[in-house]
Structure 1
Amino acid sequence: MSGSPGALSPKLNIADLKGKVAIISGATRGIGKACAVALAKQGCNIVVAAKTTTPQPTLPGTIYSVAEELEQMGVQALPVKVDMRSLDDVKECVRQTVNKFGRIDILINNASALWWQRIEDTPMNKYDLITQINTRGSFALTHLCLPIMAKNGFGRVICMSPPIQTDFRAYKGFTAYNISKFGMTMASKKVHAITSCNFEYRSVCYQAWSEDSVTVLSFREELLLKAVFGLGDVVHCPNPCCRSILSVEPGSGRQRVECCNWPAWCTQCRQPYHYAVDCQDVQALRDQWLQWVSHGRAVYNETRAQHAEFERQKQALEEAAARHVELKHDEEWKQANCRECPRCRRVVQKIDGCNSMVCGEDTHGGNRQQGCGHRFQWDKARAYQAAPDSRPLPRLDVQDVKVRGAGIRHPFCRCSRCRQDIVGPRFRCIHCPDYNLCASCDSDAAVAQDHPASHVFQILFQPEYDLRAHLPVGSRIVIADGSERQGFEATVQHEICQDVFLVEVFSDGTFQQLHRSGLQLKLDSAQAIERHIQEQLQAQASFQLRKEERRLQAIREMRQGATCSLQ
């Protein structure tokens, strides 16, 4: 292209792309691949620069597969493995391009790392990763390509970064990412002030790219769902009103992703993130919860109230029966051991002494009680007649009903509202890492309309098999889960793996991984884990047995001592 030094080259026509050489970073998928396909259709030779050399489970496409696809379109393609964090990789990419094609005409800085979080939620290693790939990597690639473009007298540099705006409300919460992207934009704004070659350096603000065009398009949902860019796996916010595209660690399975415009959600099922349950079970649990809210809770509370009334009447009946037996025995004893005063018919008990009695007076003890003072002979007085047993016992007017889960204890699990140990059904929110309610607090929250709409509870009528539930406080136990999780939801029956570590259980049910030397325990099989658990359980059972024997021995000694004192 002609033009005086320092001046912009004339507008590039589509026909002028034939035979040009373009380096595209991050070209294995999404926007980078769309750019490569669009340029290849115009006859442009492509350098596929990315770090993906082997197919990933969730996202297909490598530098070799993309290069093969481009070559089928009749152009030359050069796959080059490039990690934008490595200056040596960037230099090698430029060197191979010059050796094969002898020139560089177009550079598209597309490779990016995403991290859309606030400053307080951004660790320094994430910040370093973002700046190394986005700002430093793009700067290094541009720095090495500029002299070659200047030598050829032609160049186009496109930087995938947003424009500088005075209203930063749209970028709220994306501080680290924006710093890196705005650095790329500033380079695009100032590159003409420091170069004298005949090329253009452009910063492109994009929302989505189609697969057959490199034209910057306005935001449309169907295009946003196709747009995938950056290094690593990329997911899209499920909120139809949000255009966030978030990066996740590649090949890590189900992950928890947060967007500023949407609650935390699952990368596999694209539903609000769920703990301790599989993706395929979420809908069924949601339906069960809706059934509980609309009908099940009322039936359960009615059943529990009927059972409580039955227990109340049963206790009252037992107390009345015990009182009835007590009164009956008292009447029988008075009939055998008491007389009636001939004058006032007062019941008189002979405590000690001769047969000469005074009503209301204990002659030997000097104790005077209420009585008429009549003197009579004990053996000539009328014997006490026991009252007839004619009172009917009360009857139960309600039937007993079985309350599901009643009396079931969930060890090391406390209600998040009342902070009491959960007895009975346990309500565990599948969207919160550690939020549990007892049946009473669930009903109270429903009455007070204090249940957030985001809560979906899994109703557990049986305690889970949790290792902490079987070992005493302070025990060191093996957990068959080597991953870091929010809260402790992994159980042995669901997840047995080779990575095991040692944890210490505290009184509040929390645990801490022990890293000090000598405390790490490695077990290589599920059988070894189960064997270790059985040994711990046997030791605990033996301890409880000895404790119970000591308690019974103490009771026997106490009773024996009381008998001796009475004798």
Structure 2
Amino acid sequence: MEISLRNKSALVTGGTTGIGFAAAQTLVEAGARVMITGQNAERVQAAATRLGSPAIGIVADNRSVEAIAAVARQARERFGRLDILVANAGVTWSARIEEVSEADFDAQMAINFKGSFFAIQKCLPLMDRGGSVVLTSSCLDAKGVPAMAVYSASKAAVRSLVRTLAAELAPRGIRVNSVAPGPIDTPIYDKIGLSSADADRLRDEEARATVMKRMGQPEEVGRAILFLASDAAAYVTGADLRVDGGWTDI
């Protein structure tokens, strides 16, 4: 089945690397006009260049409601409307409970949950019937992994938000779903404060823990996002689609 998003417009938050970039790329390849956001101006420009002419890069801090509102205004100016919102921006730091500072706690919650919540709120006026919201949750919302308490809690909040907003927005004809990645080979492993050797060791351990005995690729999550964003999933809302090689459920 070929999915076409011709004449559709989409916003992908956190779209410069990893899963976010892969999602933006799949949407562009399906014919959508895509706006991506990120905090680093150089990465935003590089990602937009790689995506090509249908893509627009915007520098924005997902922790700032004002910045999110500004992105929504730019989407209105550039596109007139939004058909698809992929609320993907997220971070993680690995730390046991005794090591978690208030600043680290607040930052993860602000980016992973608060940012997604307000991205939806600010973009809703741009969305009509048939619109689709896809959030990036995580398999860790259902697994107990040491040193991942804050990240896991933030993603459990995202999963809860999907259920609530799916019910709340159904009368407006807007679907809300999420993808729950498991071990995906993205730069996030190198950003959680581990040495290169420890990051590689973690990749290997998580790959072996899956039924498929390998890491997933960002493009595999991107294709799941494409499905949920498209009319191919017209009767799907409130779902959390696991893309984890069987890590969680088997």
SS in 1 for 2:63: coil
**How far apart in 2 are the matches of 1:52 and 1:168?**
31
Structure-2 residue corresponding to 1:76: 54
Is 1:67–1:78's contact at 8 Å kept on the other side of the alignment? Answer: yes
Is 2:133–2:177's contact at 8 Å kept on the other side of the alignment? Answer: yes
Decide which of 84, 87, 93 is 1:109's aligned counterpart: 87
Structure-2 residue corresponding to 1:238: 200
Q: Which amino acid is the alignment partner of residue 14 of structure 1?
A: I
Is 2:34–2:55's contact at 8 Å kept on the other side of the alignment? Answer: yes
Cα deviations across residues 504-530 of structure 1 (Å, max 9, x unaligned)?
xxxxxxxxxxxxxxxxxxxxxxxxxxx
Scaled by the length of structure 1, the TM-score of the pair is: 0.33
Structure-2 residue corresponding to 1:42: 30
Cα deviations across residues 320-368 of structure 1 (Å, max 9, x unaligned)?
xxxxxxxxxxxxxxxxxxxxxxxxxxxxxxxxxxxxxxxxxxxxxxxxx
> Are the structure 2 counterparts of residues 66 and 92 from structure 1 closer, same or farther at C-alpha, using a change threshold of 3 Å?
same
How many angstroms does 1:163 deviate by? 5.5
Structure-2 residue corresponding to 1:181: 155
Is 1:107–1:156's contact at 8 Å kept on the other side of the alignment? Answer: yes
Q: Which amino acid is the alignment partner of residue 206 of structure 2?
A: C
SS in 1 for 2:11: strand
**How far apart in 1 are the matches of 2:188 and 2:29?**
21
Which fold has the larger relative contact order, with Cα–Cα distance below 8 Å and residues 6 or more apart in sequence?
2
Scaled by the length of structure 2, the TM-score of the pair is: 0.73
Are 2:134 and 1:158 aligned? yes
How many angstroms does 1:28 deviate by? 1.1
- Structure 2: 5+ residue runs without aligned partners? 208-250
Aligned ranges for residues 98-497 of structure 1 at < 5 Å? Answer: 98-149=76-127, 152-162=128-138, 168-169=143-144, 171-195=145-169, 196-207=171-182, 224-225=184-185, 227-229=186-188, 233=191, 237-239=199-201, 240-242=204-206
Q: Which amino acid is the alignment partner of residue 86 of structure 2?
A: I
Decide which of 18, 35, 48 is 1:30's aligned counterpart: 18
How many angstroms does 1:228 deviate by? 2.7
Structure-2 residue corresponding to 1:67: 48
SS in 1 for 2:133: strand
**How far apart in 1 are the matches of 2:146 and 2:191?**
23
How many angstroms does 1:173 deviate by? 2.9
Are 2:73 and 1:95 aligned? yes
**How far apart in 2 are the matches of 1:46 and 1:154?**
17
Q: Which amino acid is the alignment partner of residue 200 of structure 2?
A: P
Identity %: 26
Is 2:166–2:177's contact at 8 Å kept on the other side of the alignment? Answer: no
> Are the structure 2 counterparts of residues 48 and 186 from structure 1 closer, same or farther at C-alpha, using a change threshold of 3 Å?
same
**How far apart in 1 are the matches of 2:187 and 2:19?**
6
Is 2:63–2:115's contact at 8 Å kept on the other side of the alignment? Answer: yes
Give the structure with the larger helix fraction: 2
Aligned residues: 200
Larger radius of gyration: 1
> Are the structure 2 counterparts of residues 191 and 99 from structure 1 closer, same or farther at C-alpha, using a change threshold of 3 Å?
same
Q: Which amino acid is the alignment partner of residue 8 of structure 2?
A: K
**How far apart in 1 are the matches of 2:146 and 2:16?**
30
Is 1:164–1:185's contact at 8 Å kept on the other side of the alignment? Answer: no
How many angstroms does 1:155 deviate by? 1.3
How many angstroms does 1:154 deviate by? 2.1
Is 2:16–2:47's contact at 8 Å kept on the other side of the alignment? Answer: yes
Cα deviations across residues 427-463 of structure 1 (Å, max 9, x unaligned)?
xxxxxxxxxxxxxxxxxxxxxxxxxxxxxxxxxxxxx
Q: Which amino acid is the alignment partner of residue 228 of structure 1?
A: P
Q: Which amino acid is the alignment partner of residue 18 of structure 2?
A: G
How many angstroms does 1:116 deviate by? 2.2
